[in-house]
């Protein structure tokens, strides 16, 4: 059995969790054909991503002529299905933020994708994210005899449920994956309770490169790390403000921001304005190996996000026995328990963040190590890519081409 994986853009620096899931499925005996809607243009710093790039086929690489040819060819060879898909694309486009024209492009992409699946004799598509890639999967389902499923991460999908037609996508899917119990609860809100049985929780996770890393003691240096895209929702601007307040209280420490993004210039300007160059460092994007080294060099991970699904970097930090300071957002409290394996603060509160960082800095290395080891055990048991991949492989094996009401065999 071969499953077609479809992502809007893959591989991507921030999508290592998808790569890990694919590899775990292959190790579980499921063949995966990798597809992306848009080709990757960013520089991939991780060798594993570079290898994935060679295995991934991009729909938009066919160009405008290829899209039009596939659209016309499908209209001629399967006119009834094509008309049904065209009607759906128009309906979805009218309700969306992006309009009908973009959804006609999605239809053309689905026509290309449909022909590729037929050539490879693939019958099931799994999309990551409930946005563009799930739209193409839905239209592909209408165009041909292909079943589909998709994974919803949040928060973007939950911010614009009707605009991305999430209820319709759930209704037509064989099954839907949420990455947390919080995520599943949000999906329950947007479908009939008769469809709840098709919604499962399969966690993103970490692989053996993190889980098998020998324990390393907490360093004495007062250093913390924040890993993630530099953008509004990750909260780094609030973190800079918190650091400033702590420095004013004569706390001496350093925070390393590992990542890059659209807000880098604003963050650098704020660092300069507050004269925090000795206290905050920005590294830019880093490979998985470098991220691991940065986490191990720190006392704890800080992620002050106010919009998330369930960040994989939290799992990575805990897997390496480093406690986490984060926020009461989405699925984060399902993993981070205050005063047990980390700290949680109300999202958006600089004062609460200041207090929590101060508590962190005043916590002994022995206590930090105990918290980190509790977290490592939780990740090993609940966020192990191999275990989660086996669950997903079982779901693929038992659910493809069966009625959604019969999907009830996977333990969570």
pLDDT in tens, 333-345: 999 999 999 999 9
Domain extents in the chain: 2-205+385-406, 208-382
Q: Which fold has domain 2-205+385-406?
A: Rossmann fold (3.40.50)
pLDDT of residue 342: 98
> What is the torsional sign of CA 159, 13, 345, 255?
negative
Contact present, 223 and 297 (Cβ < 8 Å): yes
Region of 287 (left: φ > 0; alpha: ψ -120 to 50; beta: rest) is beta
Q: Beta strands of 133-205 (E only): which ranges?
A: 147-152, 175-178, 199-201
Among residues 324, 343, 353, the alpha carbon closest in space to that of 244 is found at 353
The band of 221, judged by pLDDT with boundaries at 50, 70 and 90, is very high
CA 389, distance to chain mean position in Å, is 15
Q: Beta strands of 95-202 (E only): which ranges?
A: 124-128, 147-152, 175-178, 199-201
Q: How far apart are CA 9 and CA 40, in angstroms?
A: 6
Among residues 356, 316, 317, the alpha carbon closest in space to that of 339 is found at 356
Contact present, 132 and 8 (Cβ < 8 Å): yes
Checking if the pLDDT of 404 tops 50, the result is no
Second CATH level (architecture) for the domain 208-382: 3-Layer(aba) Sandwich (3.40)
The pLDDT of 203-224, averaged and rounded, is 95
CA 142, distance to chain mean position in Å, is 26
Which H or E run contains 355?
helix 350-361
Judge residue 194's burial from the number of C-beta atoms within 10 Å of its C-beta, 0-12 exposed, 13-18 middle, 19 or more buried: exposed
Contact present, 170 and 191 (Cβ < 8 Å): yes
How is residue 183 written in tokens?
A: 């995520």
Could you tell me which residue, 333 or 287, shows the higher pLDDT? 333
The pLDDT of 38-65, averaged and rounded, is 92
Q: Which residues pair with 284 in a beta bridge?
A: 258, 259
pLDDT of residue 254: 98
How is residue 197 written in tokens?
A: 């049985």
CA 145, distance to chain mean position in Å, is 28
Which H or E run contains 259?
none
Checking if the pLDDT of 213 tops 70, the result is yes
- Give residue-wise pLDDT tens across range 153-200: 999 999 999 999 999 999 999 999 999 999 999 999 999 999 999 999
Q: How far apart are CA 15 and CA 56, in angstroms?
A: 14
Q: Mean pLDDT over all residues of the chain?
A: 94
Q: Which residues pair with 258 in a beta bridge?
A: 227, 284
The reply to whether 2-205+385-406 and 208-382 are identical in fold is yes
pLDDT of residue 118: 96
Strands of the sheet with 342-345, listed across from one edge: 280-284, 254-258, 223-227, 300-302, 324-327, 342-345
Checking if the pLDDT of 407 tops 80, the result is no
pLDDT of residue 401: 52
Residues in the chain: 412
Checking if the pLDDT of 268 tops 90, the result is yes
Checking if the pLDDT of 330 tops 60, the result is yes
The pLDDT of 207-212, averaged and rounded, is 92
Checking if the pLDDT of 408 tops 50, the result is no
Name residue, tokens 């299905």.
81
pLDDT of residue 42: 82
Checking if the pLDDT of 406 tops 50, the result is no
Contact present, 187 and 163 (Cβ < 8 Å): no
How is residue 317 written in tokens?
A: 């930090």
pLDDT of residue 341: 98
The pLDDT of 201-211, averaged and rounded, is 94
pLDDT of residue 45: 81
pLDDT of residue 293: 96
- Give residue-wise pLDDT tens across range 13-32: 889 999 999 999 999 999 99
CA-based radius of gyration for the chain:
22
Q: How far apart are CA 229 and CA 347, in angstroms?
A: 17
């Amino acid at each position: 059995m071969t499953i077609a994986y479809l992502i809007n853009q893959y591989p991507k620096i921030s999508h290592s969790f998808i790569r890990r899931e694919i590899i775990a499925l292959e190790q579980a005996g499921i063949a995966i054909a990798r597809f992306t809607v848009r080709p990757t243009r960013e520089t991939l710093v991780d060798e594993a991503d570079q290898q994935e790039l060679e295995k991934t086929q991009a729909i938009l690489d066919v160009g405008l002529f290829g899209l039009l040819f596939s659209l016309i060819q499908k209209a001629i060879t399967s006119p009834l299905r094509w008309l049904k898909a065209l009607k759906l694309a128009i309906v979805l486009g009218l309700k969306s933020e992006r309009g009908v024209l973009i959804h006609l492009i999605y239809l053309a992409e689905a026509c290309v994708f449909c022909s590729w699946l037929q050539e490879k004799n693939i019958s099931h598509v799994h999309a990551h994210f409930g946005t563009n890639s799930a739209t193409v999967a839905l239209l592909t389902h209408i165009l041909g005899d292909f079943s589909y499923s998709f994974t919803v991460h949040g928060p973007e999908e939950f911010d614009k449920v009707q605009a991305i037609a999430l209820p319709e996508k759930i209704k037509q899917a064989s099954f839907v994956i949420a990455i947390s119990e919080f995520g599943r609860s949000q999906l329950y809100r947007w479908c009939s309770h008769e469809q709840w049985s098709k919604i499962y929780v399969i966690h993103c996770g970490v692989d053996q490169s993190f889980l098998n890393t020998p324990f390393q003691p907490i360093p004495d240096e007062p250093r913390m790390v924040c890993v993630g895209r530099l953008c509004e929702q990750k909260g780094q601007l609030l973190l800079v403000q918190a650091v400033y307040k702590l420095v004013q209280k004569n706390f001496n420490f350093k925070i390393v921001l590992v990542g890059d993004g659209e807000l880098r210039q604003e963050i650098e300007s704020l660092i300069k304005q507050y004269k925090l160059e000795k206290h905050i460092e920005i590294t830019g994007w880093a490979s998985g190996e470098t991220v691991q080294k940065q986490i191990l060099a720190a006392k704890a991970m800080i992620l002050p996000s106010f919009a998330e699904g369930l960040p994989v970097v939290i799992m990575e930090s805990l897997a390496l026995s480093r406690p986490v300071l984060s926020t009461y957002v989405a699925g984060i409290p399902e993993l981070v328990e205050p005063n047990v394996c980390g700290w949680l603060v109300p999202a958006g509160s600089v004062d609460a963040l200041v207090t929590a960082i101060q508590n962190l800095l005043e916590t002994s290395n022995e206590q930090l190590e105990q918290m980190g080891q509790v977290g490592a055990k939780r990740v090993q048991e609940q966020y192990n890519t191999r275990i989660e991949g086996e669950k997903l492989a079982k779901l693929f094996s038992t659910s493809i081409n069966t009625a959604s009401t019969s999907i009830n065999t996977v333990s969570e």
